Amino acid sequence: MPNKTQRGNYYKRKTKELYEKMGYMVQLTEFTRTILIPGKRPIFTKIDVLGADGISIHKEKGIIFWNSKHATDERSRDAQLRQAKNEFLKYPFPSCVRLELVMWEPKEWGERIMKPHFVDMIG
């Protein structure tokens, strides 16, 4: 079973590939910060720039700040949706950009293929 970081990286990569297939140029915006505590191991934390995992740009379609999440049930999906929405609301995005949460969850019973859910976060 992959750990939480590995699963997150997997779905972030799938989301990046999805936007690239739709003709967008994509840049991941997450970076890792190291916190050094004297006498202890360093702690590595991931930080999203402007609350987004990535930014997708298309000449005609515009700019999308997106966050990629995966859910195993409805309760975790709803919690992650609220968390992503609250994170995006911390920043003063102009109305000319779109904010999207790409939620990955299993397809109907028995299928291994994942399907994305696009949720427009503003408007």
Count the domains in the chain: 1
Q: What is the pTM (predicted TM-score) of this model? A: 0.80
d(CA 105, CA 91): 27
Q: Is pLDDT at 1 greater than 60 in this prediction?
A: no
**Enclosing domain of residue 72:** 4-120
Long-range contacts of 4-12 (CB under 8 A, 24+ apart): 5/46, 7/70, 8/68, 8/70, 11/68, 11/69, 11/70, 11/104, 11/114, 12/53, 12/54, 12/68
User: In this structure, what CATH number is given to the domain that contains residue 44?
Assistant: 3.40.1350
What is the rounded average pLDDT for all residues in the chain?
Answer: 82
Structure tokens at 106: 């299993």
Mean pLDDT across 25-48: 88
Q: Is pLDDT at 122 greater than 70 in this prediction?
A: no
Mean pLDDT across 26-33: 90
Q: Is pLDDT at 71 greater than 50 in this prediction?
A: yes
